[in-house]
């Protein structure tokens, strides 16, 4: 029976009739016939032959320029350094203005001064009068600040609920810092790409520009305190190694334990990824609250901090407390790390949290910390009892630390912050204005509007000191000045079109954590809401670069100015052959640029007149990648309303002479617009003549070019489109965005010219990484794209179709429709198991055997998050996903499966000019003894991941001690009580 005798219906009976004999030959004839008919349909409706002809016609006029990867990354890094330098200069101007204002200000304890309180502005009382500190404050929406209501002419003041807004220290500080207002405005005028600028005061107020209306949280309070933000703490102190020692003896039960736990959590919140930490609990014996971390310090990144917080919550008070052994263990860890060159290599401190200390602990300090006192000891006396206060204070004052007593939960925040002032003294006395760049953090305003890897921000910050001579030895920190830098602004300087289809740029911190990478997805979906993953800002490069499992690239990035030329090949083709992986050190990070051979080595330059190109740019079916920077529109407020297409047109027509545009990219767009212009008429003619009764399933034709240009046409009414989100701004995975080419475009680039690439997606596909293709209850769609190349092989365009997969499959295979979109291993475990058994050895990317059709590469390890049942929150984990890919060099294969009482035969045949396989099998034989092969993953929270001590670039400066600092300023009264047991120690020892 021929294919013509079995068209589009009753195929199941045809297969039954043909199975017993000549199965291989029959399957090949069906595959050829099906492939030929399918190729004819998609070629017709995509217009691929016309587009190929148009590019072929202009090929002789093309100029092909080879990309110099090293030169490219150097250029990008220079531009980024220049941009970052402008941010630093803005902060430096604010620091100078703040210190001069303080120098010229005399403290006035009875000062009366009205200021704009961001919580109270524009608020009125029952008499329609503005409330105190709440005068009229004009707010207007501003696109540059995510359309928030702001005042770009003035800053205002935010205070936490627990800080009195008319305290004399607050009023004097706010009055002094009024001098920053003209500097804020001037900075913004000099550099319109600046975003938020601010001054966080050591007294607790936060001056923010532009001014905004501050809203309370869901509990009606303002909990934001600038002093416990990462940018403040990192700018105020040098890196630190901290051992937190907590008393969990029986006397700490009840409220005391609650206060102690809150104190530990608050200390943890003052640490960042440049710091190292551990927590020891003691009563009758000493134990590390995380046994995995016994005897070491671990990096205080977000993962480890959150892990510690969970363990702290489980602490219980019992037994008798003896502090000596805990202190001894703490000093040993700190000394071992210091001697081994591990940890922060700067400040070291012990934080002792207890309700009293009675034993003879002096010998511990004499043995492990005197006379050099390399480790500061900070003590926190919990509760209202003062009997042990002299002892606990003595410990701090004789070890260059600070003593505080914490009686209530409300006391915790202010008392914990005191240790930061002590650690900042050496830097303040020296007036060392170190520049710091923070780890990545989330800008929640961008959750729904940008690609996930572009949501993150970093902050540049510098400390502000008192310059008054009378306060020099006290080392008074006035606060910290900072400015936010969206990472999106950095990546604009590594434009997508210069990097090619699979090329990309990424940024890493000095700790090897990703600032920005196309495969960094910091959000997860909970119901309909997007939420940040718990470890989004501590993802290591090796966790998203599969070909870097040996961490060669990671180690090179931790070196400065190293260029890597590698030949790493991804087994899956997700990251193709890499030609260049250069890295250049920046003030904030390392920059890496990846160029893929074949798609990133060359740029095509066409010769098209402005007049000809303009005509074709104005066609209604054309759009440009609006996240790409063809023209700079975000500096001049008058340009911000323009789309990129509108900006390009106004630039070419001379309507906006002030527009700054990328002329090389604009020239590429003009060329692509002219070459692809005939597609509109072609698609329109087809749509008008299309018979919906006989040619069902094709809904849309579209194309994309390397310059970010897209054209599209509908073959059905817009109300009949299966996926109305497809190719819209919300459909980030299928359009040109700042950090990637569309998924269908990238897939097409992987295949040779002349072959169509088919893929199945569900109608609400989010684009998030998911290897589970099952989607019961969802409408299935297919996309089919054909790549277009130009010699010597740069990929230039893809023309595609979209349609309903159910309809299209029913057209040919009516009995298969219900399985559309399912993973084959879940449908037929017996055949999938046999195909895997026929595959070559796992992990071998080359030299496939003739019999093997499927390869299962070594399961990639991806950073992910899993639910921790006990705490019902997400935990970071290492997750393995099995991935399967067929070997295209093998055209057919067959096999016989023993299924108990019967044998199951199957034949698999490649369908020419596609990425499809036709697989025919005997459905009569029951092979349910073979379980389904599922895309399951293995996940675990690993001790090794959390305690790993990788190579890092430490900050260049360290300010641990200063000979002029006043160590007797250690809490409470200035006089240091002397322990009776130490009266006979040399006086010089006590004063060191």
- Summarised one tens digit per residue, pLDDT across range 741-792 is 888 888 888 777 778 888 876 544 443 333 222 223 334 456 777 777 765 5
What is the mean predicted confidence (pLDDT) over 469-478?
Answer: 80
Residue 871 has pLDDT above 80, yes or no: no
Please report which confidence band the pLDDT of residue 578 belongs to, taking 50, 70 and 90 as the band edges.
very low
Is 15 inside a domain boundary? Answer: no
Measured from the Cβ of residue 655, the count of other Cβ atoms closer than 10 Å reads 11
- Cα 25 to Cα 13, 122, 909, distances in angstroms: 18, 82, 10
Q: Which two tokens stand for residue 752?
A: 């040779």
| pLDDT tens-place string over residues 972-992 | 753 444 443 333 333 233 333
| pLDDT tens-place string over residues 320-358 | 888 999 999 999 999 999 999 899 899 999 999 999 876
Q: Of 202-216, 500-514, 863-877, which one has max mean pLDDT?
A: 202-216
Measured from the Cβ of residue 359, the count of other Cβ atoms closer than 10 Å reads 12
pTM above 0.85, yes or no: no
Q: Of 93-102, 416-425, 954-963, which one has max mean pLDDT?
A: 93-102
Residue 868 has pLDDT above 50, yes or no: no
Residue 543, pLDDT score: 72
Per the model's pLDDT, the better-predicted residue between 816 and 131 turns out to be 131
Residue 252, pLDDT score: 95
Residue 600, pLDDT score: 67
What is the mean predicted confidence (pLDDT) over 302-310?
Answer: 90
Say which range, 91-100, 306-315, 897-906, has the weakest mean pLDDT: 897-906
Residue 940 has pLDDT above 60, yes or no: no
Co-location of 823 and 834 in the same domain:
yes
Residue 793, pLDDT score: 56
Specify the number of domains making up the chain: 5
The CATH number of the domain holding residue 374 is 3.40.50.410
Co-location of 570 and 717 in the same domain:
no
Co-location of 520 and 553 in the same domain:
yes
Co-location of 193 and 287 in the same domain:
no
The percentage of the chain sitting over the pLDDT mark of 90, rounded to a whole number, equals 34
427: nearest Cα among 955, 992, 64? 955
Angle of helix 302-313 versus helix 255-268 axis, rounded to 10: 180
Co-location of 39 and 184 in the same domain:
no
Is 497 inside a domain boundary? Answer: no
Residue 551, pLDDT score: 56
Please report which confidence band the pLDDT of residue 246 belongs to, taking 50, 70 and 90 as the band edges.
very high
Please report which confidence band the pLDDT of residue 566 belongs to, taking 50, 70 and 90 as the band edges.
very low
Contacts of residue 302, Cβ cutoff 8 Å, sequence gap at least 6: 273, 534, 535, 536, 537, 538
Residue 980, pLDDT score: 37
Euclidean distance between CA atoms 574 and 548, whole angstroms: 13
Co-location of 357 and 390 in the same domain:
yes
What is the mean predicted confidence (pLDDT) over 56-82?
Answer: 83
Residue 978, pLDDT score: 42
Per the model's pLDDT, the better-predicted residue between 173 and 783 turns out to be 173
Is 24 inside a domain boundary? Answer: no
Euclidean distance between CA atoms 478 and 236, whole angstroms: 10
What is the mean predicted confidence (pLDDT) over 442-456?
Answer: 51
Pairing of strands 240-247, 276-282: parallel
Residue 13 has pLDDT above 50, yes or no: no
Is 951 inside a domain boundary? Answer: no
Residue 491 has pLDDT above 50, yes or no: yes
Residue 525 has pLDDT above 90, yes or no: no
Say which range, 249-253, 493-497, 770-774, 890-894, has the weakest mean pLDDT: 770-774
Average pLDDT, the chain: 79
Residue 176, pLDDT score: 96
Please report which confidence band the pLDDT of residue 873 belongs to, taking 50, 70 and 90 as the band edges.
low
Per the model's pLDDT, the better-predicted residue between 415 and 725 turns out to be 415
Euclidean distance between CA atoms 514 and 455, whole angstroms: 13
Q: Which two tokens stand for residue 423?
A: 């650690």
Residue 604, pLDDT score: 77
72: nearest Cα among 64, 62, 60, 80? 80
Residue 796 has pLDDT above 70, yes or no: yes
Is 769 inside a domain boundary? Answer: no
Residue 354, pLDDT score: 96
What is the mean predicted confidence (pLDDT) over 578-589?
Answer: 40
Co-location of 374 and 481 in the same domain:
no
Residue 770, pLDDT score: 30
Contacts of residue 640, Cβ cutoff 8 Å, sequence gap at least 6: 143, 144, 633, 634
Is there a cis peptide before residue 371, judged by omega within 30 degrees of 0? yes
Residue 186, pLDDT score: 97
- For the CA atoms of 706, 710, 716, 718, what is the dihedral angle to 10 degrees? 130
Residue 441, pLDDT score: 79
Is 411 inside a domain boundary? Answer: yes
Residue 184, pLDDT score: 98
Euclidean distance between CA atoms 904 and 898, whole angstroms: 7
Is 870 inside a domain boundary? Answer: no
Residue 931 has pLDDT above 80, yes or no: yes
Structure-token match 């429709």, residue found: 817
Strand partners, 294: none
| pLDDT tens-place string over residues 275-285 | 999 999 999 99
Co-location of 133 and 160 in the same domain:
yes
Residue 924 has pLDDT above 90, yes or no: no
What is the mean predicted confidence (pLDDT) over 423-438?
Answer: 88
Max Cα distance, the chain (Å): 110
Domain that holds residue 652: 63-67+606-673
Residue 189, pLDDT score: 93
Co-location of 183 and 254 in the same domain:
no
Residue 567 has pLDDT above 90, yes or no: no
Is 141 inside a domain boundary? Answer: yes
Per the model's pLDDT, the better-predicted residue between 50 and 579 turns out to be 50
Question: Domain ends where: 581, 602, 623?
Answer: 602
| pLDDT tens-place string over residues 656-699 | 888 999 998 999 999 999 999 999 999 999 888 876 554 557 88
| pLDDT tens-place string over residues 91-123 | 999 999 999 999 999 999 999 999 999 999 999
Co-location of 735 and 656 in the same domain:
no
Residue 94, pLDDT score: 98
| pLDDT tens-place string over residues 256-269 | 999 999 999 999 99
Please report which confidence band the pLDDT of residue 297 belongs to, taking 50, 70 and 90 as the band edges.
very high
Co-location of 823 and 887 in the same domain:
yes
Strand partners, 800: 702, 785
Co-location of 381 and 447 in the same domain:
no
């Amino acid at each position: 029976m021929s294919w013509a005798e079995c068209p589009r219906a009753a195929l199941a009976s045809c297969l039954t009739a043909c199975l017993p004999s000549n199965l291989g030959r029959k399957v090949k004839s069906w595959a050829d016939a099906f492939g030929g008919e399918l190729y004819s349909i998609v070629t017709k409706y995509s217009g691929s032959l016309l587009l190929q002809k148009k590019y072929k016609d202009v090929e002789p006029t093309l100029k092909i320029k080879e990309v110099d990867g090293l030169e490219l990354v150097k250029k990008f890094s220079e531009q980024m350094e220049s941009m970052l330098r402008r941010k630093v200069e803005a902060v430096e101007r604010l620091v100078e203005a703040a210190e001069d204002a303080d120098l010229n200000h005399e403290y006035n304890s009875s000062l009366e001064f009205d200021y704009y309180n961001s919580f109270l502005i524009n608020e009125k009382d029952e008499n329609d009068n503005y409330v105190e500190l709440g005068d009229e404050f004009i707010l207007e929406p501003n696109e540059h600040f995510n359309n928030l209501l702001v005042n770009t002419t003035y800053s205002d003041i935010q205070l936490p609920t627990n800080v009195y807004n008319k305290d004399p220290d607050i009023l004097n500080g706010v009055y002094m810092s009024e001098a920053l207002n003209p500097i804020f405005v001037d900075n913004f005028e000099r550099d319109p790409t600046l975003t938020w600028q601010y001054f966080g005061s050591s007294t607790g107020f936060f001056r923010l520009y532009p001014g905004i209306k501050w809203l309370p949280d869901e509990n009606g309070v303002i909990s934001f305190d600038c002093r416990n933000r990462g940018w403040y703490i990192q700018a105020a102190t040098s890196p630190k190694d901290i051992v937190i020692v907590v008393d969990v003896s029986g006397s700490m039960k009840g409220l005391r334990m609650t206060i102690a736990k809150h104190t530990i959590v608050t200390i943890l919140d003052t640490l960042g990824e440049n710091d190292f930490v551990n927590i020891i609990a003691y009563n009758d014996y000493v134990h590390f609250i995380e046994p995995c971390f016994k005897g070491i310090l671990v990096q205080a990144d977000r993962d480890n901090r959150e892990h510690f917080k969970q363990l702290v919550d489980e602490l219980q008070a019992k037994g008798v407390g003896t502090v000596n052994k805990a202190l001894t263990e703490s000093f040993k860890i700190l000394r071992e790390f210091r001697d081994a060159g591990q940890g922060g290599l700067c400040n070291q401190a012990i934080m002792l949290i207890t309700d009293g200390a009675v034993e003879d602990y002096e010998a511990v300090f004499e043995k492990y910390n005197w006379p050099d006192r390399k480790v500061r000891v900070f003590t926190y006396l919990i509760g209202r009892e003062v009997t042990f206060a002299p002892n606990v204070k003595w410990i701090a004052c004789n070890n260059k630390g600070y003593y505080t007593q914490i009686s209530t939960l409300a006391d915790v925040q202010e008392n914990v912050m005191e240790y930061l002032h002590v650690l900042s003294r050496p830097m303040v006395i020296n007036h060392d204005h170190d520049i710091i760049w923070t780890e990545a953090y989330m800008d929640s305003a961008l959750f729904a509007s940008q690609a996930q890897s572009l949501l993150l921000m970093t902050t540049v910050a510098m400390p502000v000191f008192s310059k008054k001579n009378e306060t020099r030895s006290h080392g008074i920190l006035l606060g910290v000045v900072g400015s936010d830098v969206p990472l999106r602004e950095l990546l604009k300087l590594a434009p997508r079109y210069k990097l090619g289809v699979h090329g990309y740029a990424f940024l890493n911190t000095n700790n090897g954590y990703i600032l920005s990478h196309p495969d960094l997805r910091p959000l997860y979906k909970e119901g309909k809401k997007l939420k940040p993953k718990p470890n989004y800002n501590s993802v290591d490069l090796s966790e998203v670069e599969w070909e870097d499992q040996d961490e060669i690239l990671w180690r090179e990035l931790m070196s400065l100015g190293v260029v890597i030329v590698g030949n790493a090949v991804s087994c899956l083709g997700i990251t193709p052959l890499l030609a260049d992986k250069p890295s250049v050190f920046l003030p904030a990070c390392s920059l890496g640029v990846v160029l893929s051979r074949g798609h990133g080595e060359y740029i095509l330059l066409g010769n098209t007149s402005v007049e000809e190109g303009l005509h074709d740019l104005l066609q209604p079916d054309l759009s440009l990648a609006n996240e790409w920077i063809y023209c700079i529109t975000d500096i001049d407020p008058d340009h911000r309303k323009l789309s990129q297409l509108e900006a390009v047109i106004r630039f070419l027509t001379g309507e906006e002479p002030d527009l700054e545009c990328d002329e090389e990219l604009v020239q590429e767009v003009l060329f692509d617009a002219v070459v692809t212009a005939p597609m509109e008429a072609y698609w329109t003619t087809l749509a008008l003549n299309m018979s919906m009764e006989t040619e069902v399933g094709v809904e849309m034709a579209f194309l994309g070019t390397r310059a970010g240009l897209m054209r599209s046409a509908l073959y059905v009414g817009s109300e009949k489109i299966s996926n109305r989100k497809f190719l819209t701004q919300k459909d980030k995975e299928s359009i040109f965005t700042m950090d990637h080419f569309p998924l269908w475009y990238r897939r097409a680039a992987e295949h040779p010219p002349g072959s169509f690439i088919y893929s199945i997606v569900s109608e609400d596909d989010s684009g998030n990484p998911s290897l589970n293709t099952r989607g019961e209850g969802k409408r299935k769609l297919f996309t089919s794209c054909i790549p277009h190349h130009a010699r010597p092989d740069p990929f230039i365009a893809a023309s595609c179709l979209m349609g309903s997969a159910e309809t299209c499959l029913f057209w040919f295979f009516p009995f298969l429709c219900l399985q559309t979109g399912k993973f084959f291993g879940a449908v037929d475990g017996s055949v999938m198991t046999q195909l895997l058994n026929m595959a070559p050895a796992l992990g071998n990317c080359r030299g496939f055997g003739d019999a093997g059709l499927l390869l299962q590469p070594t399961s990639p390890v991806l950073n992910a998050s899993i639910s921790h049942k006990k705490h019902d929150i997400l935990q970071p984990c290492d997750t393995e996903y099995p991935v399967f890919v067929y070997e295209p060099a093998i055209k057919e294969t067959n096999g016989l499966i023993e299924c108990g009482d019967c044998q199951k035969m199957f034949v698999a045949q490649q369908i020419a000019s596609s990425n499809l396989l036709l697989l025919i099998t005997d459905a009569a034989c029951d092979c349910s003894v073979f379980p389904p092969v599922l895309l399951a993953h293995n996940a675990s929270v690993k001790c090794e991941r959390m305690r790993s001590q990788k190579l890092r670039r430490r900050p260049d400066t360290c300010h641990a001690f200063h000979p002029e600092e006043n160590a007797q300023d250690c809490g409470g009264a200035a006089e240091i009580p002397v322990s009776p047991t130490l009266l006979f120690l040399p006086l010089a020892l006590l004063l060191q």
